[in-house]
Structure 1
Amino acid sequence: MQTKDFFYNLPEELIAQVPLKDRTKSKLLVLDKKSEKIEHKYFKDIIDYLNKGDTLILNDTRVLPARLFGNRVGKDEKIEFLLLKRDEKDTWESLVKPGKKAKIGSLVEFGNGLLKAEVVGIDSEGIRKLKFSYEGIFEEVLDRLGEMPLPPYIKEKLSDKERYQTVYSKHLGSAAAPTAGLHFTDELLKKIEEKEINIGFITLHVGLGTFRPVKVDDILDHHMHSEFYTVSEETANFINRTKENGKKIIAVGTTSVRTLETLSDEDGFVKSGSGWTDIFIYPGYKFKLVDNIITNFHLPESTLLMLISAFTSKDLILRTYKVAIDERYRFFSFGDAMIIK
C-alpha cells in the first residue's frame, strides 16, 4: 500500500489558524460507515450520537510548553528545540532546528541562563538527547520559558495557552494536543454524564509520531515511535462493563484509539496498566474494541488519516474529505470534527 494513495488536495485557506471562541460551535460531520450517509451538524450535537450505557474515552494528557528558543554558549547562534520525550529526570529527546548547530557537547542556554542544556547524544534520525541543568522545579522553569508547540501549518500566535489544552487535561507530558478533545466543554461533558453515558479517561503522551511525516513510499516500511500510556482500573472496568452490556465504546481522537487497541484482547476486553505503544493502524487492521471514533480532519499522507481509513475504507474517507472541503470545513488542529459511527 503506497503513501501516495492517501493524498488529497486541500485549499490552504481551510487550514484553521485560530480556535473558535466557543469550543462546541465547531462543525461536526457525521459519517455512517455502513450506509455511507453523511450529515452536517455542530459539535454541541455530539450528544445525540451517544446513548445511555455507552462509554466515551478521553485522553487527559496535558501539553508541555515544549518549544524552547536558546543560544549556543559562546556563540551568537539561535537554536530552536522541541522537547519530545523525557528519558530520565533531566534528560530529554528533542527535535532541533538547525541541527548542525547542536552537535554532541554543544552547550545551550535559555532565558539568560535560567535553563541550560548540553547535547549528550544524537540518534540515527537526528533526534538530540539533551541533559538539562537549572535551579528549582523543571516544569515551572519550562512553563516560564517555553511556548506551546503548535504545528508548523499554524502561522498565527496563540493568545491563550489553554486553548491548546483540553478542558480535562491533567497529566503533563505531551508534545502536542489530542486535538479531537479540544471541542468539549465542562458544560457539554456534564450533559453527557446526565444522559448516563460513562466517561473514562486514559493517558497517552503524544510524541514524535505527530511531527514525523511518512517519508517512505510503501507504508509498511514506516516506523512508529513509541508513546507512553496509562489506563486506570476504573476506566478498564467502564470499558469491560460496556462491552458486556452490548453498548458502544466511543474513542475521542486517534490517541485514544491507539491506546485502546493496544490494550485490548481479541474479545475486546482490557486490563489496566501502563506501558509504551508503537501500534501502527492502517487499512486491513481489524478493530477489537473501538465502535465509534470522534476525530478532527487529518493531514494528507499521515498515519492519522491511515488509521481512520482502516476504520472505514480509504475510498470512503477520501470521498468524505472531498465533501468536507466542498462544505468549507476547517481542517487540522484547530479545525472542525467528525464522528464515524
Structure 2
Amino acid sequence: MSSKKELFKYILWRLTLLPIMLWIISSLVFILLRIAPGDPVDAILGTRANEFARESLRIKLGLDQPLSNQYIEYLNQLIHGNLGISLNTQEPVKVIISKALPASLELALFSILIASLVGYLIGFSGALKPEGKIDFLGRIFGIGTYALPPFWAAMLVQIIFAVLLGWLPIGGRLPPGVIPPPTVTGFLLLDSVLDKNIEILFSSIKHLILPSVTLGILLSGIFSRSLRLNLEEVFKKDYIEAAKSRGINYKKILIKHALPNTLLPMLTITGLTVSSLIGGALLIEITFSWPGIALGLQEAINQRDYSVVQGIVIIISSLVVMISVVIDIAIAYIDPRVSY
C-alpha cells in the first residue's frame, strides 16, 4: 500500500463486500437445499404418515408458502440470528452448532499447529541443502501425505496405536460415561483447566492426540511443499543473486533474505487451511467419532434435517469468508508492496 489512506479504502472495501458475499452464500444454500431430492416431511414422519399429519407439519414448517415468501422469511430469520429448529430433535440449530463447533475448532487448531511445525521444519531442512537427501525425502513426504486417503490413514493409525499397542484411545473426546466439566468455553481442554480437573484434562489430551496428529501429518505435506516451492521462487529474485555475488553465506541468505519473503504466502495458506478445516475434516471426525461440526453435518444429511444442514453450511461458509477477509487485510497491512 502506498499510503494509509489507500489501506483504509481497501479495508473499507473488503468489509463492504463481506455482507454481500455472506448474502450470496446464504442464498445459494437456500436454493440448493430446496432443489435437492427428498422431502423433510417424509424425513420426520416417514412415507406412511397420513395426509392430514403431513399437511399439518408442512404448514408448521412454512413449506406450504410460496418459495419467495420462504426466502424472505429465511433472510429475516438469519438477520435476527435465528438459524431455525432441528426437524428431528426440535432443538435450536444454533445450540447444536454451539455444542459441536468448539470441538472442531479444537481439533483444527491443534492439527494446524502440528502441520505447521512438521511441514515447515521439513521444508526448511530441505532448503538448507537443495537436491540433497533431506530435500529428496521431504519431497517424497509431501507428495505421499497429500496423496494418502484420510480415512485409510486414520484407520491405520487407530489399528496401530489404539488396537495393537493400546497407547491411546480409539476415538471420542472423553471415555464413555465420564462426565465432562461444566461448559464455559466449549473447548474441553480449556474448560477442564478452568474447572481444575486434571484427570479430565489429561484424558481429553489423550483423546485429542490421535486425530490431531493424523490430520496434522496429512496436512504437513502441503506446508512443506509450499514453503519449499516459495523458497525456490524467492531464490530466483535479483536481490538474492546480488547477495550471492557479494559472497554472503548461503545459510545467511536463506534465513535473513529468502525466508522472510515467504511468510506472507505461507500466512495465506495457513489461514485458509484453518478455515477449511472447521468443516472439512469430515472423514477424520467420522473415523475418530469426534463430535465436531463436520460429523454433525454428516448426521444431519443422513437424517435429511435440512434446518441443521442449512445452519452448519452457513456458519462454515461465513467463517471461511471472514477469515479470508482478515488474511487479505493483514497482508495489505504487513506488506507495503501490495497494491490493489
Instruction: Compare CA radii of gyration and give the structure with the larger one.
Output: 2
Which structure dedicates a bigger proportion of its chain to strand?
A: 1
Q: TM-score range by the shorter chain?
A: under 0.3
Tell me the TM-score normalized by structure 1. Answer: 0.24
Tell me the TM-score normalized by structure 2. Answer: 0.24
**Which structure has more RCO (C-alpha within 8 Å, separation ≥ 6)?**
2
